Amino acid sequence: MPDPLDIVQTSQAKALGLVPSRSRALRQIRRGSYVDATAQDSAGVEDRYRARVRAVGIARPRIVFALESAAMLHGLPFGTEPRYVFSTGDPSMSGGRAGVRNSHLPIRPEHVVEVDGLRCSSVAWTLADLGRRRIPSDGIPAMDAALATGVVTKPDIERALLHQSKQGRVRARWSIAFADARSESVGESRSRVAIALLGFPVPQLQVVVRTHLGEFRADFGWRRGERWLLGEFDGLMKYGSLAAAEGRTGVDALVSEKRREDAMRVASDVCRWTWDDVIRPERLERILRATGLPQQERVLPTGVRLLS
């Protein structure tokens, strides 16, 4: 994958007649590594983090990237930009230095792979590691995405987990069992986690609803007698993405979505929530309670928390 943020090393900058420490055009991301400051300001989370990971790879070519760093290299979602670059299996590195957090725990050789010229943990190892060491709302979106592409199976992740530390295995196994390839976005994945850990029934996914305007698909659905309760996650980019995919304006997409929801409401109940509701689960809880969904007392597996 090409890097939108090309890394300029000190020697390269000097060859161009630049003094990196004095140049406003360059910004240091690691000792000896710089990127174009304007390009970094306009870059997305993935591109900024990729540049940081690659800078570490330049300095330490034999490093094995892990956790969010490996997830990024594999093209899996990893949430907000991590504070650190993560590596594993290098006993010569201290636990954390120069923006890198290293685990001394060994990684099996067959789970060390190369992506874009950088060594990292395999998809299965990465997902098992995230399942152990991260809360479900952070680990499950990556699992859902990997399962959806078919690059890994649940048994693959389970087998990798057996070769890792026992710490966090209960949480990891809960996440592996809960992961679902039908989730189509990070927002849907995190919604599912929050719904379950709040004590509400686990919904069916990608529910097809027949209306007088044709068939539509809802993100979530709970069957209640003759009617469905449909749940829709509204990401900030949803209408823009719909418009771009269909060659329409954002306003056209919004009007079309309103017609779709009105048609579904004839025979179904509909509730909606946004990203803010997912990351503040007490808000999602109020929305779902208002629909009359039954709620059980939260009983979380040992080591499983709702959100960070």
Q: Which of 68-77, 101-110, 177-186, 227-236 has the lowest mean pLDDT?
A: 227-236
pLDDT at 114 over 50: yes
Residue 229 is part of which domain span? 187-290
109: exposed, middle or buried (C-beta count within 10 Å: 0-12, 13-18, 19+)?
exposed
| Nearest CA among 24, 44, 32 for reference residue 7 | 32
Among the ranges given (87-96, 182-191, 203-212), the one the predictor scored with the smallest mean pLDDT: 87-96
Is it the case that residue 306 has pLDDT exceeding 70? no
User: CA dist 219 to 59, 185, 234, Å?
Assistant: 44, 10, 10
Q: Are residues 192 and 174 in the same domain?
A: no
Residue 171 forms part of a structural domain: yes
Query: What's the CA gap between 153 and 230, in Å, rounded?
Result: 29
Among 181, 197, 229, the domain boundary falls at: 181
pLDDT for res 2: 53
Does residue 25 lie in a domain region?
Answer: no
State the distance between the two ends of the chain, measured CA to CA, in whole angstroms. 31
Nearest CA to 73 out of 82, 65, 81 is that of: 65
**Structural domain includes residue 33:** no
Residues 172 and 270 grouped into a single domain:
no
Distance CA 247, CA 302 (A): 48
Task: Calculate mean pLDDT across residues 274-297.
Answer: 95
Q: What is the average pLDDT value for the chain, to the nearest integer?
A: 88
Domain boundary, last residue among 181, 213, 234: 181
